[in-house]
């Protein structure tokens, strides 16, 4: 897996501006989301979403 690309911009979730943002795949890449829509998220928001997804996954299986 390659290095994650980061840029400076506005987070689409918390709306903070001039922060380091990462690309979040709205549909996980493992589920075919590689070329589907993405969101620009700051690192704290991205981590929170990923933790939430992991929590949901562990509850379901």
- pLDDT tens-digit readout, 15-52: 999 999 999 999 988 889 899 999 999 999 999 999 99
1 in a structural domain: no
Give the global pTM.
0.78
What is the number of structural domains in the chain? 1
pLDDT higher than 70, residue 2: no
Q: Do the domain assignments include residue 30?
A: yes
Range of the domain at 11: 6-60
Domain contains 22 = yes
Q: What is the CA radius of gyration of the chain?
A: 12
Q: Is residue 54 part of a domain?
A: yes
pLDDT at residue 5, as a whole number: 64
Q: Is residue 23 part of a domain?
A: yes
Strands (E), the chain: 6-9, 19-25, 38-42
Sheet of 38-42, strands arranged across: 6-9, 19-25, 38-42
Q: 26: which DSSP letter? A: S
55 located within any domain: yes
């Amino acid at each position: 897996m390659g290095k994650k690309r980061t840029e400076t911009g506005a987070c689409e979730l918390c709306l903070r501006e001039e922060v380091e943002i990462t690309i979040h795949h709205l549909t996980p890449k493992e589920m075919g989301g590689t070329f589907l829509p993405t969101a620009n998220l700051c690192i704290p928001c991205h981590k929170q979403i990923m933790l939430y997804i992991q929590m949901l996954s562990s509850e379901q299986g």
